[in-house]
Structure 1
Amino acid sequence: MILMPISGFLMTILSNHHIDFYGLFTIKSFAQDLQFAKICKKIHQKAALLFTALIILHILAAFYHHFIRKDNVLKRMWNE
């Protein structure tokens, strides 16, 4: 999960864009390397797909335990 913000930060900074942190302060681009920015973008996209797949897998596993195994995992998670 740490890969997402790091790759996003590098992708933005290396593409010569500034990062505005909710109006509190701005991180200005300190270098421009479009080739490495493209690599960071690909890493960011692949990590997002992987993270989404893991969330979906986690939800499906919870449904599997609830509907197939019927071992009350969801009830214990919801404290019922």
Structure 2
Amino acid sequence: MTDSTRDEIARILKDDSRSKDERAKELLKMRDDARALQRAATESPMGGDTPDTSGLRDIDRALERLGYSDVAEAEENSAATL
């Protein structure tokens, strides 16, 4: 994961101008994007991200900090699974 991803997560968590649900929704979008990158990396030799660097773990932790506990449900409702 890049520092810019960590910075984006921190920015979302600190944004008190939006509700927790709005911030969780944005983090879930980031999570979907990170999962898409993981899938691409497993399907292509050109993929540079690995599961360790995709940011999923940090995004999941951020969701937990917001009190969002339905990560497993989000995983099941994802467009595709690994």
TM-score by length of 1: 0.39
